[in-house]
Structure 1
Amino acid sequence: MLQPQDKRLALQAYEQILDLIQSKRAQPGEIVTERRLAEMLDMSRTPIRDALLMLEGEGLLIRRGTRGLQVKQIRIEDFMDALQIRSLLEPAMARMAAGRIPAGDLDSLRNQLQTLAAGGENDRMSVREVDERLHEMIARAAGNPQLEQIIRTVRRQTQMFDLRSMPERLGDTCAEHIAIVDAIASGNAEASAKAMADHLSAVRRAIVARLTGG
């Protein structure tokens, strides 16, 4: 298991490699390797390796045997399909988790989200860390390891459309997450499911608006 410092270094490497992909400096079909990226980003190979595994899990890189990992052609349809799966499964998981997460853990998350929202700064890495912590808590509390793994995999496929591409979503993202936290803390299963469904619907609308220029 990654230690906090190791995880942060891996996330920093992830951010930089993702930027290479999104900016098309790493073209679809291009082979990327740990050694080359470590030299380019002036980082050790360990966080690079962890970042590449994350990007492979999100479907942005495809393993090509001993040649390394290849940048995948990004298809918007894939992301929308993954988001539809999340919309079907995650409200059910939130329903199962209602009332089953320690109040202290939820209070800590709420305080972090309120601080991020009040600051108004697009600290994408901090928001992502809080987002992952919330969803991991919900998944564990739901008590279904197979469902947890499915959702973790599908979530990775939609994380490209987060605050990097939609910085205007910072305030809304924090507010939606706080609503999920409050609903779960109340123990109201249906309110928890609705808060999660509302959040995912808002994400989908924002993606559609961004893609269509609306």
Structure 2
Amino acid sequence: MSDDISISEKAYQYLRSMIIDGKIDTNKAFTERALAEKLQSSRTPLRAAINRLEGEGLIERLAGGGIVVREIKIEELVEILMVRLLLEGEAAALCAARAPAEATAALIAQSEYFLTNSDAEFDAFWAYDDRFHHYVAEHSGKPLLAKLIGNLRDMARMCHVTRMEHSFVSQAEEHIAVLRQIEAGSPELARQAMVDHITKVRERLMRWLFDS
């Protein structure tokens, strides 16, 4: 039984990373059997992994028994950002009362790097962006809140337009504004700074859509 759990967890982590990174085509259906052969796994632990991914809204089962990665459409992305605005605003307020000063200062320093490196690699910025949002969520002290925020961010990344957001300097400035209020221990100002940040992210994405 423990071996099945270990295999299932590995399959889950592998598939989840492939989905979030856009390495599995949203238009290409696959089956449990084909996936089991590719991963050299039995179908029982693989099915458990697939069920978890389905529960997270990352994949869908087709009527014929196939499985497909969900396509996150623009309308859903806008809704995700609306929910994130509420949840991450609350996380920032809670974080302001809990985050360690040294770690916050270190993240501010990382943010400042992107103020003068607007031509940084996209993946490098995404990794930093993950660190920022994960830091705020984790230091909210609310594990369920942090998990919900993480899942919503992963779903948002499955929408192709999120890769069009290249305003690294603007985002870094907004992150610093949030972190400064967290550093100062100002919950409501931290909340507002995070709300402002996600609002601006949404506005930039909409502007890109209408201009393209």
Q: State, as a whole percentage, how many aligned pairs show the same letter.
A: 27
Q: Which amino acid aligns with 1:197?
A: V
- Hey, what does 2:197 align to over in structure 1? 199
| Corresponding residue of 1:4 | none
TM-score, normalised to structure 2, is 0.70
Shift of residue 14, structure 1, vs aligned partner = 4.5
Residues 74 and 90 of structure 1: CA distance in aligned 2, closer, same or farther (over 3 Å): closer
Aligned-partner residue type, residue 142 of structure 2: N
Distance 1:63 1:113 in 2: 40
Write the distance in 1 (CA, Å) between the matches of 2:192 and 2:31. Answer: 41
Q: In terms of mean alpha carbon deviation, does 191-200 or 204-213 score higher?
A: 204-213
> Residues 57-136 of structure 1: matches in 2 within 5 Å?
59=57, 61-62=59-60, 69-136=67-134
Distance in 2 (CA, whole Å) between partners of 1:192 and 1:79 is 24
- Measure, in 1, the Cα distance between the counterparts of 2:55 and 2:107: 26
Question: 2:9: which partner in 1?
Answer: none
Q: What TM-score, normalized by structure 1, do the two folds share?
A: 0.70
SS at match of 2:146: helix
1:18 aligned residue (16, 19, 22): 22
Match in the other structure for 1:175: 173
Which deviations, in whole Å up to 9, do the C-alpha atoms of 1:44-101 show, x marking residues without a partner? 99xxx9xx99x97885543669x77413334211111111111122111111110421
Deviation at 1:210, TM superposition (A): 1.9
Q: Structure 2: how far apart are the matches of 1:58 and 1:110?
A: 32
Q: How many residues align?
A: 190
Partner of 1:155: 153
Q: How many angstroms apart in 2 are the aligned matches of 1:125 and 1:32?
A: 30
Runs of 4+ in 1 over 4 A off after TM superposition: 13-17, 55-60, 160-163
Are the structure 2 counterparts of residues 146 and 202 from structure 1 closer, same or farther at C-alpha, using a change threshold of 3 Å?
A: same
8 Å Cα contact 1:31/1:71 also seen in 2: no
Identify which range, 185-194 or 113-122, moves more after superposition: 113-122
RMSD of the TM alignment (CA)?
3.7
Q: Distance in 2 between matches of 1:57 and 1:122?
A: 35
Give the counterpart letter for 2:205 in structure 1: I
Of residues 154-163 and 91-100 in structure 1, the stretch that sits farther from structure 2 once superposed is 154-163
Give structure 1 stretches of 5+ with no counterpart: 1-9
